[in-house]
Amino acid sequence: MTTCRTCHQDYDETDEEAVKRHTEPVDCEQSCRCRSKPRCYICHGSFCVCNSH
């Protein structure tokens, strides 16, 4: 198990989807707080359109 530096949850480093969720940056094409953060980052910006997070 590895602890994510972004969301501080443990994830299985052998699970490819979990690794992507916690390490691959998101390019949301918006200037909100979740830009360039992994998908596990929860953006609470009131103008954020990245609801898929």
Interval 13-31: pLDDT, tens: 999 999 999 999 887 777 6
* Domains held by the chain: number: 1
Are 11 and 4 contacting, i.e. CB atoms less than 8 angstroms apart?
A: yes
Chain centroid to CA 5: how far? 10
Q: Is 90 exceeded by the pLDDT of residue 45? A: no
- Provide the percentage of residues in the chain whose pLDDT is more than 70: 77
Confirm whether pTM is higher than 0.75: no
Name the residue range of residue 33's domain: 1-53
- Helices within the chain (DSSP H only): 16-23
Place of tokens 């480093």: 13
